[in-house]
């Protein structure tokens, strides 16, 4: 494990240094696109972080090739060359899309080409971790691998909408998968595919960690489609390299859940991106649109609309990813499974409460705003919180709803409800109009 941690640290340093250089170059030459309607940032920001991550990944592979510890991995150069070529193609397509906004069919064709290159040179799903089921034909193995890689690439790209979201989620997911792979190697013995999977996970952890400081909210630079697609490509390749070659029956675990962990974990660490991807495709197809057309209804957009701040929405994604990924890892490590089950149940409950918390505050806010009369001096200040008032359309959907804000509006409403009704003001004789002069 020490060797993998060293590679991860080297990748992080290289990625961070290159990210700073790319960021300064992008600002100097104004290499950043205009703000789109669905974007949540308010100022033009460079999207070339994927280029820096690619440089860090390739440099890490070159350095690892000189380490005798990874001799078995680089003994067969085909898969490594395929990953490097696919990564280069992915980054070129991503950068072109960030600059010129490519048609979705061109992007998808490039993704299939990159995935096909990896599958063609040996990284394939040869067996399914379901009772040691072997894929029947080489053509079926190739097809399953390509579609799996493309699916993960798009799932990761779809959630890339908030500062630090993809980098943090990938860091958590790949860190978990790195530990899982290491434990699996100890039980089944080392192979070149296992080493390749662990090396990819370690390199990806380092690339995400090195880029995250510049991508943390408020982000100075985005990874763009180049970075998100690259992360998805490497995550899928790592999972295929280890999950598609392991026979779960060799793990010595008689329990049913232990047998299925190799296929559950790759999906578990990607549950949030895959859920967002599935909902987006269903939503767009139902509306008669392309499944790759852009909109502002992703899960991270919905969290903002619920009232979470940008930072809170990102942390919620981190929390859900951590709970599900770590739970699956605990199911693999501990037997009996009650430890993992307790952690999973407690984590889901806590995440659900935190995720839905703004809804209660929003309802309280709306009810209180609706009780303030139009003649109240505070009416103009609180009417934007009344969903039935036209002024509420001027309030940004992602404006945070804090406890202090709720307390302020509730106090205004309570003050009006407790204020005694004003009695009619009687006019004094001095206020009476003077009689008109008669002729």
**What is the Cα–Cα distance from 356 to 369, expressed in whole angstroms?**
21
CB 259 within 8 A of CB 248: yes
d(C-alpha 213, C-alpha 86), whole Å: 26
Residue 228 near residue 157 (C-beta atoms within 8 A) = yes
Q: What are the structure tokens assigned to 52, written together? A: 């820096």
CB 362 within 8 A of CB 305: no
Question: Does 225 show up as a binding residue in the annotation?
Answer: yes
d(CA 323, CA 347): 6
Long-range contacts, 400-406 (Cβ 8 Å, 24+) = 400/307, 400/308, 400/309, 400/312, 401/307, 401/358, 401/361, 401/362, 401/365, 403/361, 405/365, 406/361, 406/364, 406/365, 406/368
Is 195 annotated for ligand binding? Answer: no
β partners of residue 133: 128
The helix/strand/coil state of 272 is helix
**Burial level of 315, CB count in 10 A (0-12/13-18/19+)?**
middle
Sign of the CA dihedral 369, 371, 372, 374? positive
Q: How far is CA 206 from the centre of its chain?
A: 17
Contact, 230 vs 57, CB < 8 A?
yes
Rounded distance between C-alpha atoms, residue 209 and residue 197, angstroms: 18
CA dihedral (135, 137, 139, 145) in degrees, to 10, reads: 10
Phi, psi of 127 (to 5 degrees): -150, 150
Binding residue positions: 157, 225
Binding residue positions for Mg(2+): 157, 225
């Amino acid at each position: 494990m020490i060797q993998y941690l060293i590679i991860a640290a080297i990748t992080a340093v290289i990625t961070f240094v290159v990210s700073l250089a790319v960021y300064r170059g992008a600002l100097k030459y104004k290499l950043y696109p205009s703000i789109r309607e669905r974007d949540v940032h308010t100022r033009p920001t460079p999207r070339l972080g994927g280029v820096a991550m690619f440089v860090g990944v390739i440099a890490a592979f070159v350095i690892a090739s000189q380490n005798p510890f990874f001799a078995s991995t680089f003994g067969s150069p085909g898969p490594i060359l395929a990953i490097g070529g696919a990564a280069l193609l992915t980054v070129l397509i991503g950068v072109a899309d960030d600059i010129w906004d490519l048609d979705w069919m061109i992007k998808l064709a490039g993704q299939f080409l990159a995935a096909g290159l990896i599958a063609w040179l040996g990284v394939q799903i040869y067996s399914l971790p379901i009772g040691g089921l072997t894929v029947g034909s080489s053509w079926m193995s190739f097809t399953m691998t390509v579609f799996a890689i493309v699916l993960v690439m798009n799932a990761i790209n779809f959630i890339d909408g908030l500062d630090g979201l993809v980098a943090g989620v990938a860091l958590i997911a790949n860190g978990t998968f790195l530990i899982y792979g290491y434990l699996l190697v100890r039980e089944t013995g080392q192979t070149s595919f296992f080493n390749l999977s662990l090396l990819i996970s370690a390199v990806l952890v380092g690339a995400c960690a090195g880029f995250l400081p510049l991508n943390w909210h408020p982000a100075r630079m985005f990874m763009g489609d180049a970075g998100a697609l690259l992360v998805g490509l490497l995550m899928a390749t790592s999972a295929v390299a280890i999950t598609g070659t392991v026979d779960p029956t060799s793990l010595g675990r008689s329990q049913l859940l232990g047998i299925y962990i190799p296929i559950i974990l790759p999906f578990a660490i990607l549950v949030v991106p895959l859920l967002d991807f599935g909902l987006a495709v269903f939503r767009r197809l139902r509306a008669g649109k392309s499944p790759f057309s852009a909109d502002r209804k992703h899960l991270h957009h919905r969290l903002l609309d619920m009232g979470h701040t940008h930072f809170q929405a990102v942390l919620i994604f981190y929390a859900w990813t951590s709970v599900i990924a770590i739970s699956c890892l605990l199911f693999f490590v501990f037997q009996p499974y009650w430890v993992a089950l307790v952690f999973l149940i407690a984590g889901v409950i806590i995440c659900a409460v935190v995720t839905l918390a703004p809804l209660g505050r929003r309802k309280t806010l709306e009810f209180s705003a609706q009780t303030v009369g139009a003649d109240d001096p505070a009416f103009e200040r609180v009417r934007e919180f009344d969903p039935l008032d036209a002024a509420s359309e001027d309030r940004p959907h992602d404006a945070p709803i804090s406890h202090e804000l709720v307390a302020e509006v509730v106090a205004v409403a309570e003050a009006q409800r407790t204020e005694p009704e004003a009695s009619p003001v009687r006019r004094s004789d001095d206020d009476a109009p003077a009689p008109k002069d008669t002729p």
